[in-house]
Amino acid sequence: MILPIPAIDILEGKVVRLNKGDYEKVEVFSTSPSLVAQKWEEEGAPLLHVVDLEGAKSGHPANFPVIRDLIQAVKIPVQVGGGIREVSSFLNYLNAGAARVVLSSVVTKNPAVFEEMLKIARERIVVSIDTRDQFVSLQGWKEEVPVKASELAKTLREKGVEHFIFTDIKRDGTLQGVREEVIKNFITESGVSVIVAGGISDREDIQKIKSLGEGIEGIILGKALYVGKLNFREVCSILEEE
């Protein structure tokens, strides 16, 4: 089954959503990330996706104590990303109980450090491939690099990376719907399965992603859940339908 995964984006200790990664366009939804995590656990979430937005921008975890408390507040697995570019911060999150650690910039900016992380816990790594027009975006989406997203994924798969997040930056936080052809092309070209993020706004989007078949491991649900355009239990029932 495709996993429905609520997102918890944290900025200055609060649960927020950005529009297309723009730090000037912030909506605050809660001042207690742990309570939000417990809410999604009660709703039946099988996994949580937590992002330290300040960390993603600065390159160093900024909300570690908040995220550590969140992990300890729930029984379900939590995957964590945002500013994890050193082995020490990678280990800190593993030791704090993160089921998976989400990496992005370090993969291409510092391959030696990434290789070290692979040796430590390859099976607990998720690589987030954030794209704008097929090319990779880094540093909290502030830097574009001339690397084709599908080629990067292919190379990482050969290194043994098992889990990938594919984010369509142009749609993230916009509620404008998914571009299923962009997702499909990435899966076809790279040969990897993905967790999809970016632009998911309604039942139709869930159905579109589901129709892509075996290449989909999960769907990260963000703004649509927080503004009430999607009901989490309803999403679960759609994904469970034959």
Note whether 74 and 38 are within 8 A (CB).
yes
User: Containing H/E element for 79?
Assistant: strand 78-81
Q: What is the DSSP string of 74-94?
A: -SS-EEEESS--SHHHHHHHH
Q: Point out which residues pair with 148 in neighbouring strands.
A: 135
d(CA 239, CA 7): 17
Q: Which residues contact 25 (CB under 8 A, 6 or more apart)?
A: 18, 19, 173
For residue 48, the 8-state DSSP code is E
9 three-class SS: strand
Which spans in 136-202 are helix H? 149-158, 180-190
- Find out whether 212 and 184 touch, Cβ atoms under 8 Å: yes
Contact 4, 218 (CB under 8 A): yes
Q: If you count them, how many residues does the chain have? A: 242
Which residues carry out catalysis?
9, 130
Q: At 12, which helix (H) or strand (E)?
A: none
Instruction: List residues bridging with 79 in a β-sheet.
Output: 49, 100
